Every structure is written in structure tokens, then in C-alpha cells.
Structure 1
Amino acid sequence: MKNFSILGYGHIGKVHEQAIRDTENANLISIIDFNLPSDLDAITYSTLESFLQEDTTTDVVVIATPNGLHREHAIRCLKAGKNVFIEKPISLNVADAEEILAVANEKGLRVFSSMQLRFSPVVQYVKKLVENNALGKIHMVNVQCYWNRNRNYYKLREWHGTDDMDGGVLYTQFSHFVDIINYWFDEVKCVNSRSFNFSHSDITEFDDSGYVDFIADEAVGHMTYTTSVFNKNFESNITIIAEKGTIKIGDQYLNQMLYSDLKNVCCSNKVSTEQKNFHPEAIQEVSDALFRKNESILDGKFAVDLVKFISAANDFAKENKLHQMNAYEVSHS
């Protein structure tokens, strides 16, 4: 059994708390945040500094603070001798992500990232199809994420909507979908991107919608995303078009098999699950990996690949906006 402490007790911190309590090989030691409730069944600290000075039993610190603080908090914990389990994204740029791993390597410690949708039975099923070449040559991969994030969402959390703390919708809302493409394929590379702000221009410092073109091994990939859907989330899905089949999985947590037509493969419709929360599986994976000292599908190196992809997408989007602006100025000069 490994001992966990949680840094940050907002919405996602509470999710991790319950996941730790629900996992047999994990034990919750403490929670670190200011203005914590007085009835928590854990040791509480109001600052990270006091925790790092006094704690002697924590094996893993769950970093559940705003995105823009992940680098600082992770490195401080690593330098104090703690392994870290960082909520997605591991950081908001590649240099920070690589620095986190470098410090961990120097200290002989582990970095994990919260990429819990990898434990969805549907995601695992498609992973095995790809690994076993059951789909043959994969031609296309399409990702669609049509969500709603209204004004109240951004008002509830003051750090949401900012470039330096939030980082944008690809990081905060849709990074799990990018991660699953990284999980299924050996080499995923962003080759182009465009972004737009349809309904949040007076709310966020970044665009709310866009598309990304990518290559996944030899397959052509395309992702369309938005947080501007009217009223509520509409749908999320990933479709694979391949030589020996077509498959579509979906729901916000990628726990549903929506369509399957596969050559010489049956019963794929049975892999769907009503389970949506895979955080306990992630906590168990981290605890097991530390106990057995084996590699993990949550290792930080995979989280760096995610940051590389989204950073490239954001860079392409900015370049295309600049080209469009310059073209407009030339045409009207």
C-alpha cells in the first residue's frame, strides 16, 4: 500500500480524494489547501511549505492545482523526495514538462499523469485491435468534441479562461481525447490547426473552437472541437476507418461502443460500460507501479507527448491567424 496526499482541494481534488478512499492499495494521508473544511478525515495543511516541512509518510503527492501551477508544485514536491501524480495536463508547455521529468530522474523518483480514460474497457479494446493488427491498414482517425462551457463555468473558477493558468480548451477540456490517440498509435504528429472564438471572446483569453489535422502512424487524422454548443454538451466520439473495419466509440468518458463493423471480430458491442469514473483505476495503477517498480501507462513521458501535440496545435493556430491577418491587410492596402 502506498500513501497519498492531495495538493489542491477543488472539484478535481475531491474526485482524487474519493478515488484514493475507494482503492484498496492506497491510503490518504493529508490534504493541502487553504480554507479546508474542519471535518476532513485526513491531516490538513494550509500551505505546501508546511506540508513539505512536516510530512514524513507520503509516497505520492497528487497535484490537483490550476494547470499553470503544475510545474512549480511538482518540482517542489520532487525536490522534497515525493513522487508526483499530476492532474492533466502535466504542464502548459514542453520545456516545463521536460523539466519535471528531469528533476524526477535526478532524484530517482516517479512522475505519473492523470490519463485515466486509458482504463476505459472500450479504449482498451480498441488498443488491442490496433496492437494485433486486427483492423489492417488504418486509413483515417476522426475526433469530434462538441461541448458547452458557459459564462457561469468560468465565473465559478477564477483561473479558468486565462492563458497562464488554464491554457485553453485543448488542455483543459479535450486533452483526454488527444491522449487516447497517443495511446493507440506509436507516432502522432500535429501538422496543422485553426482556431476560432465563437462565443467566449469577452470571457476567455483563448479561442473556444477549432480543428486539428494530424498524422497517426500512417493514418490521416482530423479533430474538430468546440465549447460553444448551445445549452449543454452534445457529443464526443472517435471514429477509425480501416482496411478491415470501422469503429466508433464515444460519450464524454469514451466508455461506449457506438458502432462496430469488423472483419472476423464479433461481440465488440459487449465492451461498453456505464462506468464513467476511472480515477480509482489510475490510483491503483500508480500504487502498483511504485510497489512493483515497473513501467506504467500513466508514466510522465506519455504526458509530455500530449503537451507536445497541443503546443504544436496552438502554435499552428496562431500562425494561421497571423497569416490571415496579414493577407487581409495586404488586400485592403
Structure 2
Amino acid sequence: MIKIGLIGCGRISKNHFEAIAQQPDAQCIACCDIIEDRAQEAAQQHNIPTWTTSYDQMLSDTNIDLISICTPSGLHPEHGIQAAKAGKHVLTEKPMACRLAEADELIKACDEAGVKLFVVLQNRLNPSIQLVRRAFEEGRFGQIYMITSNIFWTRPQDYYDMATWRGTWKLDGGAFMNQAAHYVDMVQWFGGPTEEVKSITATLARNIEAEDTGSAIIRFQGGTIGSINVTMLTYPKNLEGSITILGEKGTVCISGVAMNKIEHWEFTDHQPYDLELEKANTHPSSVYGFGHRLYYKDVIKCLLEKSEPISNGVEGRKSLYLLEQIYSSSG
């Protein structure tokens, strides 16, 4: 049984608590938040035995094997390094940091402590995305010419006003760094190392430091051209979270609000699983999808069987590197 402590009982923590509760070989035994009422409420709602406002106190619990970090993005490295020094494995929400240098410090701390580092990139485990990845690894696309991703969501001003850290450069970043992080990861997962990035970002309607809208064009080292378009200003609700891959021998579009629905699937060859596409479509109630449950399943398997996770610190760093390129090229 893997015992878990969670820090940061805000918006995303619900997905973690519920996902952990569905794992037969894991249990969340403690939660922590600097806001006392929030920590206590989370413990009561999700049947967590212990809650605290002291992170040091939670880290001192020798029963805890893994710390799940759900605090603001800019605090992920600090909290992860503290956990690693306490001998705990580290699971951090995306992005693993707001700055690449801090991500490297986190990776180094986990390596030196001999603990595992997991970065939550749960959309990689979407059934639809897993099918695309299978086709990709089998070489069914041939040469890939273009990869595009659209994230047309909405985040009203009151979303940002709920917490002072939201939309700040220090602790959050903007639409690319926060909301589009999974899609940036997906584009680089299929595109590979980058050669050139050009982008435009703007703060068009929200009263925040960072951007609410932007577009990036990427040339990958293999020659593929990529593009990512993101806005938090879609009227009146979330519209699309998609990725399209155009190749020499195949074209695929995965859309829906969270890369959850196969819209187009066509290759020059045919495989038996092509007839089972509908089974890969899911119907999530939010843009978070169902990936956290599958992600924790992968993490627990890794810890118990000493297998390799689908996304570790090195993988998390790749998408953060691209995010830094997007921001630096926007001026």
C-alpha cells in the first residue's frame, strides 16, 4: 500500500483525492493547506485521516511514501525539493515549475535523494491519445508534416480573482503555461526536439500580468511544422481542446473539450484496432478528463513494480523547455 500526503487543497486537488481513492494499492493519509478551513474541509470530504497547515509536520510522517503537490505552479519546485530531502517520492501537477532552472533543481534534488519524480501529464493516458501514440510508434504516419493544437477555453475574470497568484508570472504564468500546458506537452511528445519557435501573446481582456491569448509556430528538428493556438476568452464556454497530426500516410484529429474524441482517423494501411475507435472516445464533464485516475494507476505500478512511468521529471522538463521558448520568442 502506497501512503500519500497531498499539499494544496485547492481547485485541482479534488481530481487527485478522487483518483487516489480509486486505487486499490494506495491511500491518501494526510493533506495540507495554509488555509486551515480548506485543509479541514478536504479531509472531511475525502475521508483523509490527518490534516494540517504545516508542510514540515506532514513531511515528518514516516508513513508517507509519496507527496502529491497541488500548490500554485511556481511553488512546485520548492515543495518538491522539500519532499525529496525528507525521503518522499514526488508527484507534481503540471507544469513542474514556471522556470526551467527551478525544474532542474527539482530533478537534481530527487536524483540526489534517490526518490522518484512524477509530473502529471495525464492526457497522455487518454484512450484516444493512446491509440494515436500506438499508430505513431508503429510508423503509420510516415513523415509527419504538421501538428496543430487548439485550446479554445474560457476563464472569466472572477476565476483569476479567486486567488492572488493566478495569472502572475511568479507563481502561475498565463494561458500557455497553465491551461495549455498539457497541449504543449502533446505537441512536443509527437513533434520531438524543437529547432525554432516564433510566437505572439497578448492580454486582451483579463486583468492579469500574463497572457490570456496567444499563438505559437514551431519548427521541429525533424522538419515538422507545429502550431498551438490558445485563448481563455472563448464565448460563452469551453469549446475545444484538440490536436491534429498530418502525415505522409495518415491524418488524425483528436478533439472534444479535452482531446477526448476521435474526429478523424485515416491511414493508407489498416489495422484491427481501427474498427474500435468509438471505444476510445470518452465523455468527460470537464476539461480535466479522466486522466488522473489512470495517471495514479501508472505511478503506483511504477513504485510497486519499479517500472518506468509515462512521465517523469525528464519528460516534464521537455514541455517546460518548449514553454520557455514560446515566452522568450514572444518578446
TM-score w.r.t. length of structure 1: 0.90
Greater mean deviation of Cα atoms: 207-216 or 88-97: 207-216
Runs of 4 or more consecutive aligned structure 1 residues displaced over 6 Å after TM superposition: none
CA distance in 2, matches of 1:118, 1:23: 19
Instruction: Determine if the alignment matches structure 1 residue 37 to structure 2 residue 40.
Output: yes
SS at match of 1:170: coil
CA distance in 1, matches of 2:14, 2:241: 25
**Deviation of residue 261 (structure 1)?**
2.2
Q: Answer whether contact 1:26 1:284 (CA < 8 A) is retained.
A: no
Q: Say which of 314, 319, 322 aligns to 1:309.
A: 322
Q: Say which of 176, 199, 217 aligns to 1:170.
A: 176
> 1:29-64 CA deviation, whole Å, 9 max, x = no partner?
1111131226343211111022223x0111110000
- 2:214 is matched with 210
Gaps of 5+ in 2: none
CA distance in 2, matches of 1:196, 1:159: 19
SS at match of 1:232: coil
SS at match of 1:127: helix
Distance 1:190 1:91, change over 3 A: farther
CA distance in 2, matches of 1:16, 1:43: 16
- 1:242 is matched with 247
CA distance in 2, matches of 1:289, 1:123: 21
Q: For the aligned residues, what is the CA RMSD?
A: 1.5
Q: Answer whether contact 1:189 1:309 (CA < 8 A) is retained.
A: no
Q: Answer whether contact 1:146 1:229 (CA < 8 A) is retained.
A: yes
Q: Counterpart amino acid of 1:115?
A: L
Q: Answer whether contact 1:260 1:268 (CA < 8 A) is retained.
A: no
SS at match of 2:176: helix
Q: Answer whether contact 2:187 2:226 (CA < 8 A) is retained.
A: no
Structure ID, larger Rg: 1
* Identity over aligned pairs, percent: 28
- 2:58 is matched with 51
SS at match of 1:163: coil
CA distance in 2, matches of 1:190, 1:4: 40
- 1:85 is matched with 91
Q: Answer whether contact 2:199 2:329 (CA < 8 A) is retained.
A: yes
TM-score w.r.t. length of structure 2: 0.91
Q: Counterpart amino acid of 2:225?
A: V
CA distance in 2, matches of 1:13, 1:189: 36
The number of residue pairs the alignment matches comes to: 315
- 1:252 is matched with 257
Gaps of 5+ in 1: 319-333
- 2:126 is matched with 120
Q: Say which of 65, 73, 79 aligns to 1:73.
A: 79
**Deviation of residue 223 (structure 1)?**
1.2
Matches within 5 A, 1:179-198: 179-198=185-204
CA distance in 2, matches of 1:317, 1:185: 20
CA distance in 2, matches of 1:147, 1:190: 26
- 1:143 is matched with 149
- 2:23 is matched with 23
Q: Say which of 261, 265, 277 aligns to 1:269.
A: 277
CA distance in 1, matches of 2:195, 2:155: 27
Q: Counterpart amino acid of 2:316?
A: A
**Deviation of residue 189 (structure 1)?**
4.9
